[in-house]
Amino acid sequence: MIFSKNRLSLYSLVLAVTVATTGCSDEPNQNVLPADSKVVALGDSLTYGYGANPDTAYPAVLAEMTRWSIANEGVNGNTSADVLARTDQVVSQNPDLVLLGVGGNDVLRRVQPETTRANITATINKLKSADIPVVLIAQPHFSASSIFGKASDNPIYKDIAKSEDVPLYASGWSKVLSDENLKSDQIHANSAGYRNFAEGLYGYLQEEGVVR
């Protein structure tokens, strides 16, 4: 298999965590996070599951699929600055992986893209400094045109993933929020939308070799 730079990054990070835990590296599928691994979903209302029952939020659905123990650390209304301020608390949980998705509220509140980029980068660096692998999750632009049309990813996520050498799950939220049948309002998913997102993320993680 040919790994992309970001794919190889996630493989290497998870492999390093597994080797450190098991003390060996010659067994197959060492990069796969086993059942009951501790994972944190860190973000805003799209992580929290606003617009649906908490049991149908994407972290809960993904936990069923992966059999990981996933803590939902999504907070409604959080900006990238808010998530950065909570990162030390996440580090203290010593998770095996963090799924990081934030930035949509920055757009809604007209935070400068440079500020959002700096906050997300600082969050990633805090996690990486603690040897915690990170998957960055892209969020769409929330402009008037995207709210009433087809959503597309904010380009800052691709830039951050490249500069920080972290894997990026792209287009998941943009796909969901472009489908009226998957939305509870113009900027949030419904239960079907959160499941759709979780299924897409699960498929991506399978491709990355992190889950069977």
Q: Are strands 69-74 and 134-137 parallel, antiparallel or unpaired?
A: unpaired
Question: Residue 117 is encoded by which pair of tokens?
Answer: 């980029």
Element at 41 (helix H, strand E): strand 38-43
**Distance between CA atoms of residues 15 and 194, nearest Å:** 29
pLDDT score of 195 more than 70? yes
Q: Once rounded to an integer, what is the mean pLDDT over residues 90-107?
A: 97
Residue with tokens 């893209």: 113
Structure confidence at residue 40 as a pLDDT band (50, 70, 90): very high
**Distance between CA atoms of residues 83 and 39, nearest Å:** 16
Which CATH number fits the domain that encloses residue 131?
A: 3.40.50.1110
Angle 80-91/113-129 helices, nearest 10 degrees?
0
Residue 82 · residue 103 · CB < 8 Å = no
Question: Residue 79 is encoded by which pair of tokens?
Answer: 């900006």
**Of the candidates 202, 200, 199, 174, which has an alpha carbon nearest to the alpha carbon of residue 189?**
174
| Per-residue model confidence (pLDDT) at position 186 | 87
- Which domain range does residue 199 map to? 5-208
pLDDT score of 136 more than 90? yes
Residue 39 · residue 98 · CB < 8 Å = yes
Domains held by the chain: number: 1
| Per-residue model confidence (pLDDT) at position 74 | 98
pLDDT tens by residue, 138-191: 999 866 555 566 889 999 999 999 999 999 999 999 999 999 999 999 899 999
Residue 50 · residue 15 · CB < 8 Å = no
The chain-wide mean pLDDT, for the chain, equals 87
Question: Residue 173 is encoded by which pair of tokens?
Answer: 């939220």
pLDDT score of 22 more than 60? no
Q: Is the Cα dihedral 194, 51, 100, 24 positive or negative? A: negative
pLDDT tens by residue, 60-82: 999 999 999 999 999 999 999 99
Residue 103 · residue 80 · CB < 8 Å = yes
